[in-house]
């Protein structure tokens, strides 16, 4: 194969950045939501680390029926029909996390998919077709994420046990 065929293949794979912590060194557009909204005692949040990565860290507690910590980011409504997956570059702590998205900010339900971390830097691809609808932790009888519009993204940890956590985030994009 000639080099120009490789160039064509590369150009055919469309990508877009949703959030790059190395370029957007401000975490203020991300909001933290912990189980304290329901009386729980978990603590977590996002800050920018010394290497320019987002650092989602804290402690999940099961006290007072708690059990989760989440960071969320509202996007300008974005057409995503030319993409098929969310791509994360993260370095976790060996724990399981949940990526959440919404077509519209006003949607009550979110579409979710879990991902496992290894302790090393990983590029994780989460296909749109695998995001399923949930509300307050319960799966809904709705079609999976349609992959047409995106207005909200979030990362949540809530594995049903008390645990400290740290997830480094380089960037979040679409492919």
Q: Is the dihedral of CA 20, 21, 25, 30 positive or negative?
A: positive
pLDDT digits (tens, 9 = 90+) for 28-60: 899 999 999 889 999 999 999 999 999 999 999
pLDDT at 1 over 80: no
- φ, ψ of residue 147 in degrees (nearest 5): 65, 40
Number of domains in the chain: 1
Q: C-alpha angle 117/121/122, rounded to 5°? A: 65
Q: Report the pLDDT averaged over residues 83-93.
A: 97
- Asked whether residue 4 is domain-assigned, the answer is no
Percent of the chain with pLDDT over 70: 91
- φ, ψ of residue 86 in degrees (nearest 5): -90, 140
- Asked whether residue 11 is domain-assigned, the answer is no
pLDDT at 98: 98
- 19 confidence band (pLDDT: 50, 70, 90): very high
pLDDT at 88: 97
- Asked whether residue 5 is domain-assigned, the answer is no
pLDDT at 80: 97
Question: Domain span at residue 85?
Answer: 16-174
* Chain-centroid distance, C-alpha 159: 15
Report the predicted TM-score, pTM, of the whole model to 2 decimal places: 0.91
Long-range contacts of 9-15 (CB under 8 A, 24+ apart): 13/175, 14/82, 14/83, 14/174, 14/175, 15/87, 15/173, 15/174, 15/175
Domain CATH for 80? 2.60.120.430
Cα(71)–Cα(87) distance, integer angstroms:
17
- 10 confidence band (pLDDT: 50, 70, 90): very low
Least confident range of 10-14, 34-38, 102-106: 10-14
């Amino acid at each position: 194969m000639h080099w120009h065929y490789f160039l064509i293949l590369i150009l055919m794979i469309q990508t877009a950045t949703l959030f790059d912590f190395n370029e957007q060194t401000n975490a203020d557009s991300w909001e933290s939501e912990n189980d304290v909204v329901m009386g729980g005692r978990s603590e977590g949040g996002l800050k920018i680390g010394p290497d320019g990565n987002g650092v989602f860290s804290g402690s999940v507690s099961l006290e007072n029926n708690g059990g989760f910590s989440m960071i969320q980011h509202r996007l300008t409504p974005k057409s995503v029909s030319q993409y098929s997956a969310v791509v994360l570059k993260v370095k976790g702590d060996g724990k399981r996390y949940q990526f959440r998205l919404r077509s519209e900010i006003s949607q009550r339900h979110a579409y979710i998919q879990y991902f496992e971390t290894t302790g090393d830097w990983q590029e994780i691809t989460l296909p749109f077709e695998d995001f399923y609808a949930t509300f307050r932790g319960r799966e809904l009888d709705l079609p999976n994420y349609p992959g047409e519009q995106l207005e909200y993204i979030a990362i949540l940890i809530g594995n049903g046990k008390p645990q400290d956590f740290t997830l480094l985030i380089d960037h979040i994009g679409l492919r």
